[in-house]
Amino acid sequence: MNDRAKALESLAAKRWQVSLILSAAMMFIYFGFILLIAFNKPLLGSLVLPGLSLGILLGVLVIISAWVLIFIYVRWANNYYDNKVAKLIDK
């Protein structure tokens, strides 16, 4: 196997690793929220502010965390992955 193929394989493994870490983080956040709904409804019904329950607040934070994790992946892909692929193509 030549150096380019090894570098490409290493790059693919790194992309897979980043994807798994971010996916695991999202699953932890989402399933944590679902388990909280299933096992502690009274807590989620408590009011944080008048008209705003903890459940609604956490639901919004789950959605925002998905956006943040997507932003992290896109930024990583644009700044690291794409640059490495471009360097491999130019060789």
Residues 7-28 pLDDT 10s: 889 999 999 999 999 999 999 9
Closest CA to 43 of 30, 53, 52: 53
For the question of whether the overall pTM of this predicted structure is more than 0.95, the answer is no
pLDDT at position 91 is 66
Encode pLDDT of 32-89 as tens digits: 999 999 999 999 999 999 999 999 999 999 999 999 999 999 999 999 999 998 888 8
Closest CA to 53 of 37, 64, 67: 37
